[in-house]
Amino acid sequence: MTDTTLPQSSRDAHDIAHLELVPRRHVGRMIFAAIVLLMVALLVRAFVVGQIEWPVVGQFLFAPVIIQGIWNTLLMTVAAMSLGIALGVLIAIMRISGNPVLEYIALVYVWIFRGAPALLQLLLWFNLALIFPTMGIPGLFEFNTVEVMTPFVAAMLGLGIQQGAYTSEVVRSGLLSVDAGQYEAARTIGMTGMQTLRRIVLPQAMRVMVPPVGNEVISMVKLTSLASVIQYSEILHNAQVIYYANTRVLELLMVASFWYLAIVTVLSLIQSRIERYYARGTRGRTTI
Amino acid sequence: MTSEILVKAVDVCKSFGTFKALQDVSLEVRKGEVSCIIGPSGSGKSTFLRCINLLERIDSGAIWANGELIGYRRDGNKLYEMSDAEIARQRRGIGMVFQRFNLFPHKTALENVVEGPVQVLGESPKAARDHALELLKRVGLADKAGSYPAELSGGQQQRVAIARAMGMRPSLILFDEPTSALDPELVAEVLDVMNDLAASGMTMIVVTHEMGFARNVSNTVAFMDGGRLIEHGPSARVLTQPDNPRTADFLKAVQR
């Protein structure tokens, strides 16, 4: 370590200004990285030598029942999420409609369906026949609730309706994020309220809404596993059916984990594509 | 000037809570006239402008534009508020240019101009596009048709906003402090476009602090203060020999 005070002669200063710059060495970082890598290696080793028979995992990874489960999981994700987004947009628009009755109903909807656990709501829908043995409009049509409330319908309603409560808040924050001047500009070119919403406000709100909605879609993929409780044949349920028969519990759970992770990975990639689409016209600001 | 009256306001009052933004404002603007509204901040200039195209609802009084009572339908001795769709129809004929441009950020300059004609007037996309390109050329931005607002300077954005207003083929354009949000060196390009527009015979009501524009381009000047219309007359007279001492004080303050 030599002197770093301002040199007397400008010649010395010039010499110092042209010395080689050596970046700081992050010794602490390297030590921590080594420790973490070691821990990861130990964890991987534990799984490899543990009581899991990996060949069994490979054997069931593409079993027809599992593949069927994947399709059913995807189908339920799409069905429940579509219902959730439709309800979310509807409820969000009710919240800002200016009609006090609609606003209040929207508030109560969010309060109730966000307040009860998703699993409980699934069970309620599935057992709806206990409250209403038949449904319909008297004189027009009527059917037995048990026949209509299949595991698919019950899971879709249970998951979709509670999702609508969450999504409505996302949509509402998206609508609030659009500048009031945009509503006014749309008005001055003669647009009606619905045109303004559809053409001007929602496309801009999407930019704000896509990341949290993407998050919710991913969350929904995993939430559909709750439907296994009411006998809906999604991935987890089908994995369970197999391990009840062959007792390879951990192996089948690994198979299910693999597929959930695979689906979520693909969805994350799709999400970033969609985000890029709705970010058009904005200067990409991804760092602070 | 003796052409027909395009905008007529009679005893317009508007309050925000207990604050009286407009008190008995009456004003006439004739077809082809350029009328500037000047006055200190908070005098009600912008509020009055926004009442003309129903961005603000008036508490009492009446405003006619394009020969129609704005926002209300008369039935006997009462005025009934119009529906959303009817109000939207009335707004089509009244263009507006905002202080903060308010371009649609997710649409290009061209798409901003085309949006209203196609979606509201039902013009064919081809015809609307041709008209829009012509308008963008007129405001000097033919080469920026494909640019998004974020890629344009403030002056360019405001010129696109003027083209957007003209795309609706309005009979009247309202300007709400169109140069107040611009960097000083960008003011001139917007004023030039407004000069051209005035020369082409467009009826314009301009809320502004640009005394040069008021003096050189406008036919009449209205001075507002404290929510009241203090003075209204030919611009040369109002700006040089105002009748009212408050007008004189204001002019002295802004012209130094």
So what's the ipTM on this one?
0.92
DSSP string, B193-246: HHHHHHHTT-EEEEE-S-HHHHHHT-SEEEEEETTEEEEEEEHHHHHHS-SSHH
Q: What is the pLDDT of residue A97?
A: 85
Domain range for A192 is: 73-232
Q: Which of B54, B103, B150 sits opposite A283 (nearest CB)?
A: B150
**Residue A151 is which amino acid?**
P
What pLDDT is attached to residue A284? 54
**Confidence (pLDDT) at A207:** 86
**Residue A268 maps to a domain:** no
Q: Identify all chain A residues contacting B177, using CB atoms and an 8 Å cutoff.
A: none
Interface test with chain A among B119, B176, B177, by most A beta carbons within 10 Å: B119
CATH number (domain holding residue A114):
1.10.3720.10
What CATH architecture applies to the domain B31-53+91-255?
3-Layer(aba) Sandwich (3.40)
The answer to whether residue A275 scores a pLDDT higher than 90 is no
Q: Band of the pLDDT at A77, cuts 50, 70, 90?
A: very high
Maximum alpha-carbon separation in chain B: 55
Classify burial at B247, counting beta carbons within 10 Å of its beta carbon; exposed 0-12, middle 13-18, buried 19 or more: buried
Q: Is the pLDDT of residue A287 over 70?
A: no
Tokens of A89: 């947009």
Residue A29 lies in a domain: no
* Tens of pLDDT, residues A131-167: 888 888 888 888 888 888 899 999 999 999 999 999 9
| pLDDT at B9 exceeding the cut of 60 | yes
Chain A: residue whose CA lies nearest to B83: A192
- Report CB contact under 8 Å: B106, A204: yes
Q: How confident is the model at residue B10 (pLDDT cuts 50, 70, 90)?
A: very high
Q: Is residue A119 part of a domain?
A: yes
Q: Which of B53, B96, B107 sits opposite A281 (nearest CB)?
A: B107
Provide mean pLDDT across the span A32-46: 94
Annotated domain spans of chain B: 31-53+91-255
Cβ–Cβ gap B106/A195 under 8 Å: no
Q: Which chain B residues are closer than 8 Å to A182 by Cβ?
A: 102, 104
User: Is residue A259 in a domain?
Assistant: no
Number of structural domains (chain A) is 1
pLDDT tens column, A91-131? 999 998 889 999 999 999 999 999 999 999 999 999 998 88
Confidence at residue A8, expressed as pLDDT on a 0 to 100 scale: 84
* Three-state DSSP state, B5: strand
> Could you say which residues from 85 to 124 on chain B have a Cβ atom under 8 Å away from some Cβ of chain A?
85, 88-89, 91-92, 94-96, 98, 100, 102-108, 115-116, 119-121
Q: Is residue A222 part of a domain?
A: yes
Q: What is the pLDDT of residue A213?
A: 93
Q: Are B254 and B211 in contact (CB under 8 A)?
A: yes
pLDDT single digits (tens) B90-146 = 999 999 999 999 999 999 999 999 999 999 999 999 999 999 999 999 999 999 999
Rounded to an integer, what distance in angstroms lies between the CA atom of residue A118 and that of residue A159?
Answer: 7
Tell whether A24 is covered by a domain.
no
